[in-house]
Amino acid sequence: MNTKQRIFSAIQPSGELHIGNYLGALKNFVELQDKYDCFFFIADYHSISGEYDPQKKKKQIMDLTLNFLAIGLDPEKCTITVQSQVPEHTELTWIFNTITPISELQRMTQFKDKSQDQEKNINMGLFDYPVLQAADILMYKAYGVPVGQDQIQHIELTRKIARFFNNKFGKTFPEPKDIITETPKIMSLIDPTKKMSKSHGPKSYVGINDEPEIIKQKMKKAVTDIGTTGKMTPATENLFLLLKILGKPEHYKEFLVQHKKGIIKYGQLKEALADDIINYFTPFRAKRKELESKPEYVKEVLAIGADHARKIARETMREVKEKIGLVL
């Protein structure tokens, strides 16, 4: 039996992964897998609460799985699967729905933001999204959830749902903690008042699968300030943060000194950052190419993950149903 503490996190298969997703979550997944019993899911049910093309969904799921494996998630160390392959998640969501006050969901800032992004499709799934997320996490009685800053409010709600359930039906779920990186919120390259996000268009982010030429073009267009001394603007702060984590240490030091002296040339900083990002993700791109020729292996990883996850999910559901009085 595995005695390590459990970690759960998921990412939606809804298009490209960007360096914000990587620095806020995925990088941490890779580091945590050595220490914890990790469950990393492809959140397909979450992704259908947004606008999507059913013809593309399967490819997006396979793409994200390839990204997980190519970035270094090891199926020998962690459980990787697709949310809808474990139907117990939606079953537990229904039970949690019955103990979650609507007022809690109305406070969620992500619901408010996404409602603006998809005005014509403010569906029930979008509203209930955090309850499904709580079911995902609590199903495995996770100790921690590695996420970016935008998810902290949802994890707080997950803790509340655990508390509501425990108070009503007896101690069942631990209250999970959020685990964030030193880069929990990477900002958009073209508008540093907004977080880097797919919904703000491709110019706002660098995708981890972007070709070198595209990375160079996007970095060229990144906004900066006018290059005088003094305090950094949010835009330059964001670029320096990217350079600190993804760049060569000597680049970071050199440009920091230039900034302090007020002699920095942002064109040079952006060129160096583009090159460093390209280099950083080169092994990832090579590994991804190699895995693309092995779709059967990728499917097998997901099937093995689903089998393992379902065993635990069934146990949790048995316990939950017993506690709420549904076992005859």
CB closer to ligand AMP out of 184 and 247:
184
150 binds ligand AMP (CB under 6 A): yes
Q: Give ∠ CA 58-60-63 in degrees, rounded to 5.
A: 110
With CB under 6 A as the contact rule, the residue among 151, 158, 204, 238 that binds ligand AMP is 151
Q: Quick one: 18 or 251, whose CB is closer to ligand AMP? A: 18
Specify which residues 40 forms β-bridges with. Answer: 9, 80
6 close to 37: Cβ distance less than 8 angstroms: yes
Beta carbon nearer to ligand AMP, 17 or 302? 17
Cβ closest to ligand AMP, residue 277 vs residue 317:
277
Where b means 16+ CB within 10 Å and e means fewer, 52-83 reads beeeeeeebbbbbbbbbbbbbbebebbbbbbb
Distance from C-alpha of 71 to C-alpha of 49, rounded to nearest angstrom: 27
What is the spatial distance between Cα 327 and Cα 190, in angstroms, rounded to a whole number?
A: 55
Q: In the chain, what is the straight-line distance between the N-terminal and C-terminal CA atoms, in Å?
A: 30
Ramachandran region of residue 52, left (φ > 0), alpha (ψ -120 to 50) or beta? beta
Applying CB under 6 A, among 6, 27, 89, 195 the residue interacting with ligand AMP is 195
Residue nearest ligand AMP, CB atom distance: 24
Q: Is 42 helix (H, G, I), strand (E, B) or coil?
A: strand
Kindly state the number of chain residues that form the binding site for ligand AMP, as judged by CB under 6 A. 17
Give the range of 81-89, 182-190, 236-244, 259-267 binding ligand AMP by CB under 6 A.
182-190
Of 50, 130, 176, 184, which one interacts with ligand AMP (CB under 6 A)?
184
How far is residue 69 CA from its own chain's centroid? Answer: 15
The rounded distance, in Å, linking the Cα atoms of 134 and 121 is 23
The label of the residue with tokens 């707080």 reads 156
Shortest gap between Cβ of 11 and ligand AMP (angstroms)? 4
Minimum distance, C-beta of residue 236 to ligand AMP, in the bound complex (Å): 17
**Binding-residue pattern over the window 94 to 133 for ligand AMP, x denoting contact by CB under 6 A:** ----------------------------------------
77 annotated active-site: no
Segment contacting ligand AMP by CB under 6 A, of 56-64, 193-201, 249-257, 307-315:
193-201
User: Could you say which of 27, 114, 141, 270 is catalytic?
Assistant: 114
Say how many CA atoms lie within 13 Å of 302 toward its Cβ.
Answer: 22
Catalytic residue among 27, 141, 195, 270: 195
Catalytic site includes residue 198: yes
Q: What is the three-class DSSP state of 185?
A: coil
Distances, alpha carbon 259 to alpha carbons 113, 231, 265, in Å = 35, 9, 9
Whether 270 is catalytic is no
| Interaction pattern, residues 3-42, with ligand AMP; x per rule: CB under 6 A | --------xx-------xx-xxx-----------------
- Residues annotated as catalytic are 114, 195, 198
Binding site for ligand AMP (CB under 6 A): 11-12, 20-21, 23-25, 147-148, 150-151, 184-186, 195-197
